[in-house]
Structure 1
Amino acid sequence: MDFNQVRYFLALANTLNFTRAAEQCYVSQPALTQAIKRLETELGGELFLRDGRHTRITALGQSLRGHFEQIDHTRHLVRATARAVTSGEIAELNIGVMCTIGPWLITEMLDTFQAQHPMISITLHDVTPASIPPLLLSGAIDGALCARHGSPHSQLRYISLFEERMVVAFPPGHEFSNRAAVPLRAIARQRYVDRLHCEFRQEILQFHEAHDIQQDVAFRSQREDWIQSMVLDGVGVSVMPQFSLLHTKLEHRPIIDPVMSRKVEFAVVDHPQSPPALSELLKHVSTHDWSVAQRDASQSASS
C-alpha cells in the first residue's frame, strides 16, 4: 500500500465515478483502476462494486474509509511539517548566553522574535567565554550572546549589538551616591565583592598592582545574583556591566580613570550559509533596535 493508492481510494469513495476520480488525482482512468485493483488484492477483498456505469462502495471499503482518511491526513501533515522544517518555520535553537549579560536587553529581542516566528523554540544556556568556541564548533549551541574581551576566534563570526559601560554598584546611601562618576582608584579603597566572571578582572588587578593598592576583598563568587545581593546588603561594592543590574534598588555610577566598556556581540560559526531558523534569528538580531533597549534598561536599572 502506498499514499497514492490511499488518495485514489478516497477520490473514488467521494465521487463513485472512476473517470471523475482519475481527473481529481491527475492520472489516467486505467492507472487509477489498476491501483485500486492492486489495493484490493493486498487487502484481500473488494473495496468497490462495479455494476455497469454505477459504482458503489463495499462494506469492506466503508469500514476502511475512516482509516484511509486518517492516513491521508497524516500524509498532508508530514509534508506540511517537512516544508516547515526545511524552510525554518519549525525549529529549535540552542543559544548560549554569558551570565554577565543582563536579561533587560535580550528579553524584548527574543520576545519579538518569538512573536514573528512562533514555531521556532529557543533554549537559553548559561555559558562562559572560554566555552563558547568549542560549544559552537561542536554544534551543541547554534549561537551565543557574548561580550568578547580579546581576539576573535578565526572560525567564528561576530555581529556587534551594542556597547555597554562598566559601572560600580553600591547600596543606597553609599558615599558614591554624591558622585557623577567614580575613579577606579576610589573603588580600590572600598571593601569589594569580587566577580570572578568579570571580563575586566585582570585589568583591575593589574591596576591595583601598578598603584600598590591592596584591596579589601570581602567575597569572591561566580554567581552574579549572589554578588548583587551582597552589594545591596552593604557587604561591599562591585564593578559590573551596567545592564546586568538585576536589583532595582542598587545604585551605580560610571567608572572613570580609566573608562571601561565592553562590546556585546552575537557569535555564530562562520559558515557560508546558516540553517533557515538561525538565519532568521541572525537577521532579527542584526536589525533589532538596541538603542531603545539600552535606554529602557538604563531607566529600569536606575529606578
Structure 2
Amino acid sequence: MEFNQIRYFLQLADTLNFTEAAVRSGVSQPTLTRAIQRLEQELGGTLVYRDGKDTRLTALGRDIRSEFAALAEGEQRVRALSLNRVRGRRETLTLGVVNTIAPALITGFVTQALHQLPMLELVLEPITRDEGIERLLKGQLDGCFASDPMTKSAKIATVEMFREKLLLAMAQGHPLASQTAVSLADLSEQPYLDRLHCEFRMRVNDHLRARAIIMIPRLRSEREDLIQQAVAEGAGVCMLPEHSAIVPGLTLRPVETLDLSRTIAFQSISGSGTAVVLRQLRMLIERHALS
C-alpha cells in the first residue's frame, strides 16, 4: 500500500467523482482508477460502488476513510517536521479575508491548520469582496476566504464552507428583541445604521423600496466594529449575517419577507502546480467544510 493510493482514495471519498478526484490529485483519471483498484485488491474488498454516474462508498470504504485520513495527516506532519528540522524554514501563505466575515468563523479553522501543518506560517490580510479574485490572479494572494464567490473560472478552485442568513441586529433588551421575527412596519420605524461593506445592501434596499419603505441611515461606516458597537449601545439597528457579530450585547432576529443568505468559501488557484502546502491547506478546508 502506497501513500499515493491513500491520498487518491481520500479525494475520491470527498468528491465521489473519479474525474474531479483525479483533477484534485493532479493525475489522470485512469491513473487514479488503477490506484483505487490496486488498493481494493490489497485490502481484499470493494471500497466504492460504481453504478453508472452514481459513485458511493461501501461499508468498508466508510470504515477505513477516517483511518486513512489520520494516516495522511500523520504523513503531512512528519514531512513538515522534517522540513523544518532539515531546512530550518517555514512555508508562508498570504490569505485574504473579506472584511465582513467574522473572525470566529475563520480562527477555529486557522488554529486547526496551524496545528496540523507545523511548517505553515499564515499572513491574513483584510480585503473587500470585489478584490479577492483579482489579487489571486495577480499572485498577490495565495488564497482568500470569500463571501458569495463571484467566479466560475476554471483557474479558481472554490470550496464552499457554509451558508449564513441575513438577520436584523439590535441591542439586547431592545423592544423588538422579544419578537420571533420583525415586521417590515416595525423595521421602518427604527434608526438605521448602514454597514457600507455589506454584500446585501443593494438587495435589502431593493426589497424595502419595492414595499414603499426607504431606510435613511443615521450612521454609515465601513468599520464593522464601530457599527456593531453603536447597535449594541442602542443607537439603532443594522442588518447583519447571523454568525458575524463581533461585539457583545447584540440580539439577532429575522425580518419577515426578507430571506437572504450568503455562502462563505475558500478560493485559490487550481491545479497541481500550486504549492504543496496550499494544496494541503485546501484539503483541510474541504474536510472542515464537510464536518
Mean Cα deviation higher: 206-215 or 231-240: 206-215
Equivalent residue number for residue 182 of structure 1: 182
The alpha carbon displacement at 1:153 in A equals: 4.6
CA spacing shift, 1:274–1:183, aligned 2, 3 Å: farther
Equivalent residue number for residue 145 of structure 2: 145
Is this contact kept in 1: 2:83–2:119, CA < 8 A?
no
Question: 1:248-283, CA deviations, whole angstroms, 9 ceiling, x for partnerless residues?
Answer: 211111333121111110011233442111011101
SS in 2 for 1:101: coil
Equivalent residue number for residue 93 of structure 2: 93
One-letter code aligned to 2:240: M
Equivalent residue number for residue 162 of structure 2: 162
Equivalent residue number for residue 115 of structure 1: 115
**2-structure distance, mates of 1:138, 1:231:** 38
Question: 1:145-190, CA deviations, whole angstroms, 9 ceiling, x for partnerless residues?
Answer: 0112655455322110001111111012212211112245542332
* Structure 1 moving runs of 4+ over 3 Å: 76-79, 149-155, 183-186
Equivalent residue number for residue 86 of structure 2: 80
The alpha carbon displacement at 1:284 in A equals: 0.8
* 1:252 partnered with 2:252: yes
SS in 1 for 2:212: coil
Equivalent residue number for residue 201 of structure 1: 201
* 1:173 partnered with 2:173: yes
One-letter code aligned to 2:215: Q
Is this contact kept in 2: 1:189–1:216, CA < 8 A?
no
Is this contact kept in 2: 1:144–1:267, CA < 8 A?
yes
**1-structure distance, mates of 2:122, 2:234:** 37
**2-structure distance, mates of 1:285, 1:223:** 28
Equivalent residue number for residue 214 of structure 1: 214
Q: RMSD value over aligned CA atoms?
A: 2.4
* 1:105 partnered with 2:91: no
SS in 1 for 2:255: strand
Is this contact kept in 2: 1:190–1:216, CA < 8 A?
no
Query: Which protein is bigger by CA-based radius of gyration?
Result: 1
With the length of structure 2 as denominator, give the TM-score of the two structures: 0.66
Which blocks of at least 5 consecutive residues in structure 1 are unaligned? 1-75, 292-303
Which blocks of at least 5 consecutive residues in structure 2 are unaligned? 1-81
One-letter code aligned to 1:188: S
CA spacing shift, 1:138–1:277, aligned 2, 3 Å: same
With the length of structure 1 as denominator, give the TM-score of the two structures: 0.64
Is this contact kept in 1: 2:232–2:248, CA < 8 A?
no
One-letter code aligned to 2:94: N
Question: What is the number of equivalent residue pairs in this alignment?
Answer: 210
One-letter code aligned to 2:108: E
One-letter code aligned to 2:127: V
Is this contact kept in 2: 1:160–1:266, CA < 8 A?
yes
CA spacing shift, 1:185–1:266, aligned 2, 3 Å: farther
Question: 1:271-300, CA deviations, whole angstroms, 9 ceiling, x for partnerless residues?
Answer: 344211101110111111676xxxxxxxxx
User: Counterparts of 1:2-81 in structure 2 under 5 Å?
Assistant: 80-81=86-87
Question: 1:25-66, CA deviations, whole angstroms, 9 ceiling, x for partnerless residues?
Answer: xxxxxxxxxxxxxxxxxxxxxxxxxxxxxxxxxxxxxxxxxx
The alpha carbon displacement at 1:198 in A equals: 0.8
**1-structure distance, mates of 2:166, 2:151:** 20
* 1:274 partnered with 2:280: no
**1-structure distance, mates of 2:151, 2:184:** 25
CA spacing shift, 1:280–1:149, aligned 2, 3 Å: closer
Equivalent residue number for residue 70 of structure 1: none
One-letter code aligned to 1:157: A
One-letter code aligned to 2:159: I
**2-structure distance, mates of 1:209, 1:271:** 44
**2-structure distance, mates of 1:153, 1:208:** 33
**1-structure distance, mates of 2:115, 2:84:** 24
**1-structure distance, mates of 2:211, 2:94:** 44
